[in-house]
Structure 1
Amino acid sequence: MTFQLPTDIPINAWIAQRTAQSLAAGSDGVDRLKREPGGAIDVLRGWNEVSIALGGAGAIAETLSEMHPDPVVRQAADQAIQEIATFSTDLELDRDLYEVFAAADESTLDANGVRLLRKIRQDFTRAGVDKDEATRERIRAINERMVVLSQDFGRNLREDVRSIRVAPAVLEGLPSDWVAAHPADDDGFVTVTTDYPDVVPFSSFCADADARRALRVEFLNRGWPQNDALLQELFALRREYAALVGYDSWADYTAETKMIGNGVAILQFIDRIADAARESGERDRAIVLERLRQDRPEASTVDAADLAYYSELVRKEQLDVDAQLVRTYFDFEKVRAGLLEVTGRLFGLRYQPIEASTWHEDVASYDVFFADTDAQVGRIHLDLHPREGKYKHAAQFTLVEGIVGRQLPEGVLACNFSRGLMEHDDVVTLFHEFGHLVHHIVGGHTPWHRFSGVATEWDFVEAPSQLLEEWAWDASVLQSFATNATGQPIPTDLVAAMRKAEDFGKGLHARTQMFYAAMSYWFHVEEYDDLTARLRELQEQYSLLPYIDDTHMHASFGHLDGYSSGYYTYMWSLVIAKDLFSAFDTADLFEPTVARRYREQILAAGGTRDAADLVTAFLGRPSSFAAFEAWLAL
């Protein structure tokens, strides 16, 4: 199966048609399983067919819901997601179907088959299949409502693009190419939006404190107030669901299938990171505050409206890194080409541009091959610039789950980068997100849909992407594509200064991440009448930056939906990523033996083994906290 949008019928009609066909195929497959299950391997194969049908339709609907420029198509995709979710919930609560798996004889299966069967049984019990009819009906209603709430939450974020209007003089200090792309309107004002290609440069380089603060307030208030009520209901339903299926909290429910194991361990991890980051975070905050006081002697603290701007000044004046000079080396087209060259060399891949029928002219599509055998690995689509109605952050979306001998994996990278010069932070983000895409493609060659691609525990999935960020910080790697307008590669000493400057502020960043992680945990564990008030308390406890009055950042914190109570996973994965990187030779990041072993033992495995076992196989030992602590202490 290869993804192609049709040209002969409306896309919304095609989505509805394809969804109906997939649901019918799934229903037929379930009926066969219950009627003539056969042996254990037959049961797994039958369920695999059902999963492929439902997963294929769901993946395409999810992508088009977030990416297609036509709201009619996005609405049709949302409807398809609801129908698939309802059907899936019905299957998870089908006792007759569960009995088919409960009766399957494990002794007839190989180790991978046993692992799959146990995962499927666990999915059913976690869904509440063993509860009484009234409880199952309530679970069914909760699941259906949670899908709608999630869709409404995401739609509000996509559509709530806010802005401020400023006089051209306010743009003093911003990069010339950015200023040229933002001409004044007929009234003589420039509009600056809360989309990332605007808010990041403006926050970093605009010298006007009032304008920076005005934009930051708008940015933090996206989705407010409508998403506040949606989140309250979503959190309440998740807490109720967890209780109905036998867990003390939603955090315990979600942690059970992750490396961390339980909700209490989440809090312990958050506090461990917060304590480890305190000293460096407070030191860096004091440095930023000292620089702020040169302009505003009365300042008593630093908040998010000033942090990016004054951090850049510290990096420029004290650490010899001028971010505006740095960005002249990162032209988008060169960066994209460099990304493909670097990852191709590292992972032994070749990318061939193709013409594909997708959802927008911005999308660049490539067939991916193993360089040594020329066997096709899969297909990728890069949708990297912002537009109205598009997903506002950066993420990898699945289009097709790879099944060995059956269908090649296919994935999408969705980002929101400038078409011209990029900040180096954006380059790092691009490498990070591409790491998910490579994981999906290389890991998409398993026989079982359940284990295809990025199918590991959810608190491990970021580790391969965080590892790939290291290549965006290496001077020799960057010099292969980062050149200025005259063709000169970025200087080695500038990259060294950038790396030193990157170390500045990481304690502050870690503490902020733990604030977000604590918020995601407590919002799902306890009920609060006022989410903003609780947010303020947690920010005071964990973040080293104060709350900005009259803001409500939780309403735009998309990870409260997707990661729910598990936002800690970003930092948990980073601990593992730093340990994984210790196996590479920093003098030769492309050393083929290590790179090949990493591709085969971490990426290609998909979800066929527990993440801890993958890490142990690659490192030759269990994962350790030591590499992360050493990095944080720099």
Structure 2
Amino acid sequence: MSDQLHAQSPTPLTLPAADDFAAWLDRRCADGLASTRDAVRRLKAGEASTAEQALRIWDTGMIGMANAAAVGSLFSEVHPDEAVRDRGDAAVQEVQKLGTELQLDRELYDVFAALDAAELDPEAARLLDKTLLDFRRSGVDRDDATRARIKEINEQLTLVGQEFGKNIRDGKRTISVAPARLAGLPQDWLDAHPVGDDGLVTLTTDYPDAIPVRTFCHDRDVRREMVNAFLNVGWPANEPLLRELFELREELARLVGYDTWADYDAGVKMIGKGVAIPEFIDRITEAATEPAERDRDILLARLRLDHPGAEAIDGVDVVYYEELVRKEQYDVDAQVVRTYFDFSRVRAGLLEVTSRLFDLTYTPVDDAVVWHPDVTAYDVTLGGETLGRIYLDLHPRENKYNHAAQFTITDGVAGHQQPEGVLVCNFPKGLMEHDDVVTLFHEFGHLVHHILAGRATWSRFAGVATEWDFVEAPSQLLEEWAWDAGVLQTFAKNAEGEPIPADLVAAMRRADDFGKGYMARTQMFYAAMSYWFHTDLPDDLTEATVSLQDRYSMFRYVEDTHMFSGFGHLDGYSSGYYTYMWSLVIAKDLFSAFDPDDLFAPEVAHRYRDLILAPGGTRDAADLVQDFLGRPYTFDAYGEWLAR
């Protein structure tokens, strides 16, 4: 590949017609990996005469590999055709295999080790430093036998992780119940769930069924059936896969010189070291305990009005009684609230809010080729300059990724390719819960971060390329706009066109504060699973889950469930699920810089856009935050929010 790639005008990637998708995916992967191999050949042949030129050749190769990985990862999760999904999995395997091979290539490492960082500008020197660190963390300096074993482990980790994810994606469960047992569910939801020929209504564990049933269904046994089905997705197939995953990671960490996988994984994060993770978990747990106990006891007291002998509360009842408390004690009825959140209005409102906040323009691309009719595409511009393209794939369907996430199609590299990203969610097409609205804002935060940081000089720093325990902070910050009455009134309107009342939004906010302590404790339960599973390597994951739930959660274990089997973050986040809360601490501090009476004030909004989002990974996250706040971030804003 020629370095002239970096002089081309970026244009959108053209996706293929449906009947050519599998072949296109193969070509995209093959071309990307060929580019990578050619870059390696050139480096080893000594074609680079300067350190900057060597890095440029390497960057071109990394772009090719990243492009192959991105489309493989995306379409393995979202494409309706099983053959395409399988080709996507195969593409990811090929990329991971080549990546491992290169990171263990001592001759290639020596090329970079011989470069003189003094010749480079600061950003290029940062790239060189991180490239050398990647090689060392991969075990390039180990003996031949060790490198061979590392290669085997990495290839097996890819296969195990893909199988784990596939079991979750394809493992949707169903329950069938008589329609009379669905009392309490909203009428529009009932209308969308017709009675089958057997006289029963079939429900799935996908969010648009699971969440309303757990929230509104009066029949406790139906809620229990749903919770049991939901918490058993992926089980039993995923339990041995997880144990293998943890063991392989532990072996890999030790082979490259770390005591545990958590130490290895934390080494490139803000937190710095594995042992700091349980310290952080315990700090949040302690800060959350008083409000958690207070609100848990309120839930339990309300449960006892219906079930006088109840001694504790679990996942069957938590969401349902949480809704009752908010309705009865905070005057917030979620079934009334949802009438203001029609999906089409919410999607349009989200685009308008972020357009106004960041001075962006979204232009629908009506002729864009997409992989499903539900998918919409938009070109994004700033000041007349096209920044990139986004795709919104927001509704559930068979064999689709069943959570919510931002996926990449291309990373944005100046002069080479524009950033393109996809929002993959599972929202209903009609009325949405407000929690869904918050989730949509959150996930869109990742997408806008990807686009705004898409004019990088080096692909390594493009898009959401900061430390992994910072990447959630911008998304968590954007959630605040989904809670502001003035913002919501621009798009949250009922069937009569009346905007959501400000006093209702204020009550929603007060009601949302209810339970934040025990929610923080629940998150620390998940974070503890993520950490201790990787350090203790328990033989019985169910037993370990129960033990950690007893220690950290305010709610007891639901018998005969195995939630870890569907906990996809154990693959992608490995030992680092704590990062959500770490990011939230920073997000609350970032939000303190905004005027709550004028969330769109351009000076602070544009400064945030330019100092936090646009730089991508060009600087350490702590430095970006300090530039924006004018000081280092602190725990104070989060602590005050949690305590009030």
TM-score, normalised with respect to structure 1: 0.99
Once the two structures are superposed, what CA deviation does each residue of 1:517-570 show, in whole Å capped at 9, x if it has no partner?
Answer: 000001111221101101110000000110111110000000000000000000
Q: 1:145 aligns with which of 156, 159, 170?
A: 156
Would you say 1:584 and 2:594 are equivalent positions? yes
8 A Cα contact 2:346 2:437, kept in partner: yes
Partner of 2:387, secondary structure, is strand
Equivalent residue, structure 1, for 2:381? 369
Equivalent residue, structure 2, for 1:514? 524
Would you say 1:489 and 2:504 are equivalent positions? no
Deviation of the 1:9 alpha carbon: 5.8
Once the two structures are superposed, what CA deviation does each residue of 1:38-70 show, in whole Å capped at 9, x if it has no partner?
Answer: 211011101100011111111111110111010
Deviation of the 1:8 alpha carbon: 8.6
Partner AA of 1:242 in structure 2: A
| Equivalences for residues 597-612 of structure 1 within 5 A | 597-612=607-622
Q: 2:344 aligns with which of 333, 339, 356?
A: 333
Deviation of the 1:4 alpha carbon: 2.2
Equivalent residue, structure 2, for 1:63? 74
Would you say 1:392 and 2:405 are equivalent positions? no
8 A Cα contact 1:403 1:409, kept in partner: yes
Would you say 1:593 and 2:578 are equivalent positions? no
Q: 1:132 aligns with which of 121, 129, 143?
A: 143
Q: 1:289 aligns with which of 300, 303, 306?
A: 300
8 A Cα contact 2:104 2:139, kept in partner: yes
Partner of 1:218, secondary structure, is helix
Equivalent residue, structure 2, for 1:166? 177
Distance between the aligned counterparts of 2:462 and 2:18, measured in 1? Answer: 32
8 A Cα contact 1:90 1:140, kept in partner: yes
Distance between the aligned counterparts of 1:619 and 1:72, measured in 2? Answer: 49
Partner of 1:618, secondary structure, is helix
Equivalent residue, structure 2, for 1:242? 253
8 A Cα contact 1:369 1:376, kept in partner: yes
Partner of 1:590, secondary structure, is coil
Partner AA of 1:176 in structure 2: Q
Equivalent residue, structure 2, for 1:560? 570
Equivalent residue, structure 2, for 1:177? 188
| Equivalences for residues 299-314 of structure 1 within 5 A | 299-314=310-325
Partner of 1:352, secondary structure, is strand
8 A Cα contact 1:4 1:358, kept in partner: no
Distance between the aligned counterparts of 1:377 and 1:5, measured in 2? Answer: 18
Deviation of the 1:10 alpha carbon: 2.6
Q: 2:422 aligns with which of 388, 391, 412?
A: 412
Deviation of the 1:22 alpha carbon: 1.7
Would you say 1:42 and 2:81 are equivalent positions? no
| Equivalences for residues 438-457 of structure 1 within 5 A | 438-457=448-467
Distance between the aligned counterparts of 2:35 and 2:287, measured in 1? Answer: 52
Equivalent residue, structure 2, for 1:401? 411
Q: 2:199 aligns with which of 188, 193, 198?
A: 188
8 A Cα contact 2:18 2:371, kept in partner: no
Q: 1:10 aligns with which of 9, 20, 23?
A: 20
Q: 2:83 aligns with which of 53, 56, 72?
A: 72
Would you say 1:231 and 2:247 are equivalent positions? no
Equivalent residue, structure 2, for 1:575? 585
Partner AA of 1:262 in structure 2: K
Partner of 1:274, secondary structure, is helix
Partner of 1:297, secondary structure, is coil
Q: Percent identity?
A: 62
Distance between the aligned counterparts of 2:486 and 2:252, measured in 1? Answer: 51
Once the two structures are superposed, what CA deviation does each residue of 1:457-489 show, in whole Å capped at 9, x if it has no partner?
Answer: 000000000000000000000000000000000
Once the two structures are superposed, what CA deviation does each residue of 1:288-337 show, in whole Å capped at 9, x if it has no partner?
Answer: 01111110001111101100000000000001000000000000000000
Once the two structures are superposed, what CA deviation does each residue of 1:125-154 show, in whole Å capped at 9, x if it has no partner?
Answer: 000000000000000000000001111011
Partner AA of 1:377 in structure 2: L
Partner of 1:13, secondary structure, is helix
8 A Cα contact 2:375 2:392, kept in partner: yes
Deviation of the 1:25 alpha carbon: 1.6
Distance between the aligned counterparts of 1:338 and 1:96, measured in 2? Answer: 53
| Equivalences for residues 312-331 of structure 1 within 5 A | 312-331=323-342
Partner AA of 1:340 in structure 2: L
Deviation of the 1:410 alpha carbon: 0.4
Deviation of the 1:18 alpha carbon: 2.2
Once the two structures are superposed, what CA deviation does each residue of 1:83-111 show, in whole Å capped at 9, x if it has no partner?
Answer: 11101110000000000110000000011
Deviation of the 1:438 alpha carbon: 0.3
Distance between the aligned counterparts of 1:21 and 1:165, measured in 2? Answer: 48
Deviation of the 1:7 alpha carbon: 2.8
Distance between the aligned counterparts of 2:49 and 2:109, measured in 1? Answer: 14
Partner of 1:567, secondary structure, is coil
Deviation of the 1:16 alpha carbon: 1.7
Partner of 2:316, secondary structure, is helix
Q: 1:547 aligns with which of 557, 564, 567?
A: 557
Partner AA of 2:533 in structure 1: F
Would you say 1:525 and 2:535 are equivalent positions? yes
8 A Cα contact 2:374 2:395, kept in partner: yes
Deviation of the 1:196 alpha carbon: 0.2
Distance between the aligned counterparts of 2:27 and 2:500, measured in 1? Answer: 52
Would you say 1:100 and 2:111 are equivalent positions? yes
Partner AA of 1:324 in structure 2: Q
Equivalent residue, structure 2, for 1:33? 43
The 10-residue stretch of structure 1 (169-178 or 425-434) with the greater mean CA deviation from structure 2: 169-178
Partner AA of 2:204 in structure 1: T
Partner AA of 1:527 in structure 2: L
Would you say 1:268 and 2:279 are equivalent positions? yes
8 A Cα contact 2:29 2:67, kept in partner: no
Equivalent residue, structure 2, for 1:360? 372
Equivalent residue, structure 2, for 1:615? 625
Partner AA of 1:186 in structure 2: D
Q: CA RMSD in A?
A: 0.8
Distance between the aligned counterparts of 1:5 and 1:41, measured in 2? Answer: 33
Distance between the aligned counterparts of 1:555 and 1:217, measured in 2? Answer: 12
Once the two structures are superposed, what CA deviation does each residue of 1:391-449 show, in whole Å capped at 9, x if it has no partner?
Answer: 00000000010001221100000000000000000000000000000000001111100
Equivalent residue, structure 1, for 2:431? 421
Partner of 1:201, secondary structure, is helix
8 A Cα contact 1:417 1:426, kept in partner: yes
Distance between the aligned counterparts of 2:634 and 2:524, measured in 1? Answer: 20
Distance between the aligned counterparts of 1:231 and 1:115, measured in 2? Answer: 35
Partner of 1:382, secondary structure, is strand
Deviation of the 1:221 alpha carbon: 0.4
Partner AA of 2:295 in structure 1: D
Size of the alignment, in residue pairs?
A: 632
Q: Any stretches of 5+ residues in structure 1 without a counterpart?
A: none
Would you say 1:629 and 2:642 are equivalent positions? no
Q: Any stretches of 5+ residues in structure 2 without a counterpart?
A: 1-10
TM-score, normalised with respect to structure 2: 0.97
Distance between the aligned counterparts of 1:4 and 1:206, measured in 2? Answer: 45
Partner AA of 2:586 in structure 1: I
Equivalent residue, structure 1, for 2:8? none
